[in-house]
Amino acid sequence: MAQPVLSIVIPVYNAENYLRECLESIKTQSLCEIEVILVDDGSNDSSGTICDDFTRGSSVFRVIHTENSGAVCARLRGIAETQGTWLIFMDPDDFLPTGDALRQMVALIEESDVDILMFHGDVIGGSEATRDGILRWFNRDPGPLIGEDIIWQCYMEKAFAHNLILKIFRGDIVRRAAGHTAEIFSLVYAEDYYLFFCIAMFAKYFTSVPTPPLYAYRYGSGISTKERYLTLKEYFAEICSGYKALYKMKEVLLGRPWEKNANDILEKLDLDSAFRYCVRLLKVEEKDRICGLKMLFGQWPRLAIIKALALVYKNNEHTWSNIIDELFRLAVPETDPALINSIIGGVRYPVAVGNGFAEAPYVLQEGWHNTEPKHVWSKSDAKLLLPVPRDCDTATCVLKLFFWVFGAGPSRPVDVLFSSGEQGWAWSEKITATSGDAIGLNIPLTGANDLRSINISIPDATSPQLLNGSRDNRTLGIALQRIELIKL
């Protein structure tokens, strides 16, 4: 057989209910110059037999039977057998919705001449809300990206999903990446998170194309979701296995030259992984959460756990706050000010004060409502605790706060009083707002140590309910949007 145009790698584990539909959708494709590598990862149902049925007498389908070692190892073993110019990954419970889906994928990437091309898909199963949410995540279009921006936009900016499906890859890039990718046995969490990172490290060009659905993803029946855990300890241990992937990703990142700030990416990877675990703590019974958190402490850096808990607290319903408060008390004892100061010290300017601001519970010390997507409202009195960069002891620096004032207008001027919250530093400033426009305020850092404490008072702060009859009865002072560092 001549070199195939396209290779398809499918890890198979206990997928007998949908595997035939998956393979039939490939068998009937109009593109014939393909090879399909099935890796039967120790299935104990009839999946192995189904694979044998499709490979018997076929020059397209091949199967590798292995002992169970997880999807990462299965995919790597499949990749090693491929020869195609282009390559896609499929899950054994998914299928191709049209007979020319593969031909369209290949035509798109040949025309674009990139290493990775992302296309659109469809979701089968689940509620309408679930399908819509998955499609919004899958069917993003970040457009052309080059080099390091592929990883930066995926893992730092969340501009597109890291899943392996819904993408077509240059085969040589994937094989090269696989040769430098460690097999992680029994990794049942973060497989795609790990493998796409490794592939993207070797890719130079990426693009996305909005297409009709070329792939059908079956929700709720995948190899990573269908198996139930025998014990709670197994559940937490397998989720924690994601840290194996994170550790290897760090090795890959630090092992190559990197123009962007690698430390920013490492910190983000830590936080993302810990955040996903912390969300899962909320899904188990209350009596089991401490057990899970202790297991988490054994895997992730402590600061990543604290920041992740802060994000969970800010991003979820108020009814969960007692749960998060309980976890916080365990994670950050009130008698540990050094740890809290180190968390605040990790803040990097400029700061967008919204839902993604992980250090919010520490910087926004007192008198603040929950963060919103792009700002946070103060109450009538509030306090900020801001880190001072180390190099500001030899340079003249100011912090600039950007905010607007609730209810301010020409007929209702509102005074905002800023003052020092530290002993030995006398500073105050009064601003009178006469509109809802953004205001910038400079806070001097001269003479500051590691932290600068700021008190904020809005004597005439009121609520939307009192001002205009809204149902919102919160007392609103300033809406803090952004904090920037200026070196003069």
Per-residue confidence (pLDDT) for residue 352, from 0 to 100: 85
Whole-number mean pLDDT of the chain?
82
CATH topology for 6-218?
Answer: Spore Coat Polysaccharide Biosynthesis Protein SpsA; Chain A (3.90.550)
Is domain 349-487 annotated with CATH 2.60.120? yes
Res. 232: pLDDT tops 70: no
Map out the domains of the chain as residue ranges: 6-218, 232-332, 349-487
**Of residues 479 and 392, which shows the higher confidence score?**
479
pLDDT tens-place string over residues 461-470: 999 999 999 8
Residue 131 has pLDDT above 70, yes or no: yes
pLDDT surpasses 50 at 270: yes
CA distance 139 to 159: 11
Give percent above pLDDT 70 in the chain: 73
**pLDDT score, position 317:** 45
Mean pLDDT of 172-196: 76
- Rounded distance between C-alpha atoms, residue 480 and residue 377, angstroms: 6
* 3-class secondary-structure state, position 56: coil
Residue 325 above 60 pLDDT?
no
Q: How far apart are CA 100 and CA 236, in angstroms?
A: 42
* Confidence (pLDDT) at 230: 47
List Cα–Cα distances, 138 to 97, 123, 147, 307, 485, in angstroms: 16, 10, 21, 26, 36
Predicted local confidence at residue 318, as pLDDT: 41
Tens-place pLDDT, residues 69-82 = 878 889 999 999 99
pLDDT digits (tens, 9 = 90+) for 81-126: 999 999 999 999 999 999 999 999 999 999 999 999 999 999 999 8
Q: Is the alpha carbon torsion for 153, 158, 160, 162 positive or negative?
A: positive
